[in-house]
Amino acid sequence: MTDEINMIKSPIPEHLAIIMDGNGRWAKQRGLPRISGHQQGVETVIRVVDACVKQGIRYLSLFAFSSENWGRPRQEIDALMGLLTQFLASQRQKMLDDGVRLRVIGDLSRLSEPIQTALADAERETSQGNALTLILALSYGSRDEIMRAAKQIARQVVEGDLDIDQLDNKTFSLHLDTGDLPEPDLMIRTSGEVRLSNFLLWQAAYAELYFTDVLWPDFDAAELQKALDDYSSRKRRFGLTDEQLQALEEKTN
């Protein structure tokens, strides 16, 4: 509860999650191949990471590739994986200089060996970064993540390492890929789609949602500011009444 009250009082989200959508449509509008939209999308990622560091946001989760995106044409998947590899190589020094710590969530076993290695190296090398934790969701889907957590828990119960009556929300959360991370306070989706597409379904139970028509390649610091301004005007209640919240806030002051 104290964590929640901290979030009520904070004008800036501690954890921002973004569903980066609209790369393909951005390219199509310009008569370009979809991959050009993804290339431009990487430029936006670099811009938005900078903006988040400047804003003092502590955690930024980016939905980069979903478990369902494996169904896209092979050529597009390969191009996306190529962009990821380039991103890791080109941003390594900058992440170290800026105190950005990289974390990856998702079913990484489906990624190629070289990419798995590059991700593990980047996570290790940037592990001391203490400005921003950048969480890349790759081969990620909430249902898949929840299933994997459920299987881990079932295994522990069967092996006698966990008493089923000890299982609660908190323990369950620890088995998710995001086990050690705070829950998102604000979730942004670009490109005008108004759905979560299997992103952080458990974790975003009380996230504020913000949708914009801007396509991801066109998203920038000014668009981020609009979302943050909107967020700061929201009233987060977590199921309580205004009066209860006020009493809690007075108590914590």
Asked whether position 141 contacts ligand IPE by CB under 6 A, the answer is no
As measured in angstroms, the least distance from the Cβ of 6 to Mg ion is 34
- How many whole angstroms from its chain centre is CA 65? 11
Q: Kindly tell me which of 64 and 181 has the beta carbon lying closer to Mg ion.
A: 64
Asked whether position 178 contacts ligand IPE by CB under 6 A, the answer is no
Q: Kindly tell me which of 189 and 248 has the beta carbon lying closer to ligand IPE.
A: 189
Q: Kindly tell me which of 152 and 197 has the beta carbon lying closer to ligand IPE.
A: 197
| Among 26, 49, 27, 1, residue whose Cα is nearest residue 170 | 1
Is 21 tagged catalytic? yes
Q: Is 250 exposed, middle or buried (0-12, 13-18, 19+ CB in 10 A)?
A: exposed
DSSP per-residue string spanning 102-154: EEEES-GGGS-HHHHHHHHHHHHHTTT--SEEEEEEEEE-HHHHHHHHHHHHH
Asked whether position 223 contacts Mg ion by CB under 5 A, the answer is no
With the CA atoms of 169, 171, 176 and 181 taken in that order, what torsion angle do they form, in degrees rounded to the nearest 10? 90
Q: Is 188 helix (H, G, I), strand (E, B) or coil?
A: strand
Exactly one of 21, 177, 185, 223 binds Mg ion (CB under 5 A); which one? 21
Rounded to whole angstroms, the Cα distance separating 228 from 222 reads 10
Exactly one of 7, 16, 17, 22 binds ligand IPE (CB under 6 A); which one? 22
C-alpha atoms less than 13 angstroms from C-alpha of 204 in its C-beta half-sphere: 20
Q: Kindly tell me which of 131 and 196 has the beta carbon lying closer to ligand IPE.
A: 196
Asked whether position 110 contacts ligand IPE by CB under 6 A, the answer is no
Q: Is 189 helix (H, G, I), strand (E, B) or coil?
A: strand
Strand stretches in the chain, DSSP E: 15-19, 59-66, 100-105, 132-140, 186-189, 208-211
Taking contact as CB under 6 A, which single stretch among the options 63-71, 174-182, 234-242, 245-253 is the one that binds ligand IPE? Answer: 63-71
As measured in angstroms, the least distance from the Cβ of 178 to ligand IPE is 16
Q: Which residue is nearest to Mg ion (CB)?
A: 21
Per-residue binder mask for ligand IPE (CB under 6 A), 187-206, x = binder? ----x-x-x-x---------
Rounded to whole angstroms, the Cα distance separating 87 from 5 reads 37
Q: What residues are labeled active site?
A: 21, 69
- Contact residues: ligand IPE, CB under 6 A: 19-25, 63-66, 69, 80, 191, 193, 195, 197
- Contact residues: Mg ion, CB under 5 A: 21
